[in-house]
Amino acid sequence: MKYLSTRGHPDRKQFCEILLEGLAPDGGLYLPEKYPKLSANDLANLRHIWSEKGYADLAFAILSLYIDDIPSSDLLALCRKTYTEQVYGTKNIVPLKPLDDGVYLEALSNGPTLAFKDMAMQLLGNLFEYELERRGETLNIFGATSGDTGSAAEYAMRGKKGVRVF
C-alpha cells in the first residue's frame, strides 16, 4: 500500500518509509492512496476475530489492510505485544458495557496513562522500536505539551530500544 500527502506532494511511500517521518515533505498528512473495501463478510470475519481471538488479533487484521511492508508474523507479534492485559489492566483491552438493546459503551481509557491515545501510542512505540532496529538507527523525541497526548506519547516511547525521550 502506498501513502500520499494531503497537500499534493508527488511522492508515494510505503508505511515504514513514513512511520518515522511525521509530516510529509510539503507539511501535509499522509493518507492511504486507496482505502480497502470491506464486504459484509469481511466485517463479519472481523467481528469473529474479535470475539474468538481478541483485540490484538483484530488490530492485526485491520492493520494488515494498511501495512504490507512489515512481515505478517512480525506485525502480529507487535500487536500481541502491545494489546495485553498487563498493559491495559483487562483481558478485554476495550471492554464493552451494554447500555441498551444493541447500544454499548466502549472503554478506551484502560491504557497506562488512562487516555484513549494509549490505544494508538502503545502500538506506535512498538512500531518505532521495530523499525529503528531494522534500520539500525536511533531517534530522539522532545516532548513539550500540557495535555494527555504528550504524556501518552512519551510513556509509550519510554524504554524502547533506539528511542530517547526528553
Q: Which residues are catalytic?
A: 117
Q: How far apart are CA 111 and CA 144, in angstroms?
A: 21
- What secondary structure does DSSP assign to 126-159, as a single string? HHHHHHHHHHT--EEE----SSHHHHHHHHHHTT
| 3-class secondary structure, 99 | strand
Q: Which three cell numbers stand for residue 61?
A: 487484521
Q: How far apart are CA 158 and CA 165, in angstroms?
A: 7
| Alpha-carbon torsion (88, 152, 155, 62), positive or negative | positive
Phi, psi dihedral angles at 14 (to 5 degrees): -75, 165
